Chain A
Amino acid sequence: EAGVVQSPRYKIIEKKQPVAFWCNPISGHNTLYWYLQNLGQGPELLIRYENEEAVDDSQLPKDRFSAERLKGVDSTLKIQPAELGDSAVYLCASTATPQPVGNEQFFGPGTRLTVL
């Protein structure tokens, strides 16, 4: 079974440029998460999807960040325009259902973004 797929693995851009990250969750997983992981820190949730609906986006900086999951499968996270402080690893995770609680989240390898 294929795991969570993310692309690109690495991205280097100049500040003020746009950037997009793509995630394909494990087949059949209807819950998808985007996390931000700063260097030396734990992941922080940006947004959670149940199928195509964003059910928790309270931590997503909506002035420059956007996300979509149009068909309830793969998802795209966008930053426009990027700032120096956005340099981090962006992780995508998925899980089969929101219930029962305690379901394992499966993580992709992440996209490492460097903003110059």
Chain B
Amino acid sequence: AQSVTQLDSQVPVFEEAPVELRCNYSSSVSVYLFWYVQYPNQGLQLLLKYLSGSTLVKGINGFEAEFNKSQTSFHLRKPSVHISDTAEYFCAVSENNAGNMLTFGGGTRLMVKP
């Protein structure tokens, strides 16, 4: 069975600074990887996903993530954050033989300070 670990429960950062949110996964088969964002009192919204091909994936709102198979990681990055990026971010994995079943990490709260 797959699992996802988000190493940081909270990440404080100043506005316009770069940020990296870390995600590691474990699985015995090939996987698909996702990052979702959750704003307060809202549902989850897809930021980006990796299915195959280029390991650098670009998503919405200026975010990007890089799939590293040897390190089983899928870290999320943004070169310059805004106050509006303050939210909870979830990494998720889906095994390629499990349809669209998602296993989520525990989440990372990104707190952007002025």
Contacts and interface: CB of A to CB of B under 8 A. Distances in A.
Interface of A: 3-4, 31, 40-45, 48, 56, 91, 93, 95, 98-99, 101-105, 107-110, 112
Contacts of A108: 43
A107 B43 contact: yes
A31 B43 contact: no
A101 B32 contact: yes
Interface in B93-110: 94, 96, 98-102, 104-107
B45 interface: yes
Contacts of B7: none
B86 to A, nearest CB: 16
Contact of A42 (B45, B99, B104): B104
**Shortest Cβ-Cβ A-B pairs, 7 listed:** A42-B104, A107-B43, A102-B51, A107-B44, A98-B99, A102-B32, A109-B43
Given A42-B90, A98-B99, A99-B99, A104 B104 contact: no
A48 B107 contact: no
A25 to B, nearest CB: 12
Given A42-B106, A107-B43, 19 more contacts: A40-B9, A41-B107, A42-B4, A42-B107, A43-B44, A45-B102, A48-B101, A91-B44, A93-B43, A93-B44, A101-B98, A102-B100, A103-B100, A107-B36, A107-B44, A108-B43, A109-B43, A110-B42, A110-B43
A109 B94 contact: no
Contacts of B43: 3-4, 91, 93, 107-110
B28 interface: no
A103 B34 CA distance: 10
